[in-house]
Amino acid sequence: MNVGVAHSDPNPNSTYFSSKGMWVTYAILVAFLHYVILSLPFLSVAMAWTLTNVIHNALMFMILHIEKGTPFETADQGKFRYRTVWEQLDYGVQFSPSRKFLTVVPVVLFFLASFYTKYELYHFVVNAVSLISVLIPKLPQLDGVRLFGINAY
């Protein structure tokens, strides 16, 4: 970002995921992560899919539901300081296309991981816990809610 150059959006953090090509870039990065994990010779295909799912969900949980505020100076005067990236996304509009995409991707990864692990109990439980830990914070009823005061400030 250039210093001294104005942008028309008061909070660019809320619209970057709707920008042109972002969804394709996201899918390419997930595929690249999977291929890197799959290239490790000591991991089975089942373990590679489970690791892809868990790593993806852990990173997205940290990025979307733990990270707060904006990474740059904005004209909002601290309005979004205590809002997570998920709560800022598309200015808080529920069920926007970006939010739907970010909700569907973990579900698709869960289905792929479950299929390629042949529904083995261990992998299924790990993948299901990972999926639930990412989907629960995305519910509209939990918008702005901080459980047990964690990440409140």
Q: Closest by alpha carbon to 117, among 61, 58, 56, 43?
A: 43
Taking only the tens place, the pLDDT of each residue in 14-67 is 777 887 888 999 999 999 999 999 999 999 999 999 999 999 999 999 988 888
Output the pLDDT for position 78: 66
Degrees, nearest 5: CA angle 59-64-68 = 120
Q: Which residues contact 117 (CB under 8 A, 6 or more apart)?
A: 46, 49, 50, 123, 124, 127
Q: Could you report how far apart the first and last alpha carbons of the chain are, in Å?
A: 27
Please state, in angstroms and rounded to a whole number, the distance separating the CA atoms of residues 70 and 7. Answer: 15
Most confident listed range (38-42, 80-84, 146-150): 38-42
Say which DSSP state 55 is in.
Answer: H
Cα–Cα distance list, 107 to 3, 33, 101, 102 (Å):
39, 17, 10, 9
| CB 37 within 8 Å of CB 48 | yes
Which has the minimum average pLDDT: 37-46, 114-123, 142-151?
A: 142-151
Half-sphere exposure of 125 (CA within 13 A, CB side): 2
If pLDDT is split at 50, 70 and 90, which confidence band does 74 have? low
Degrees, nearest 5: CA angle 53-55-60 = 95
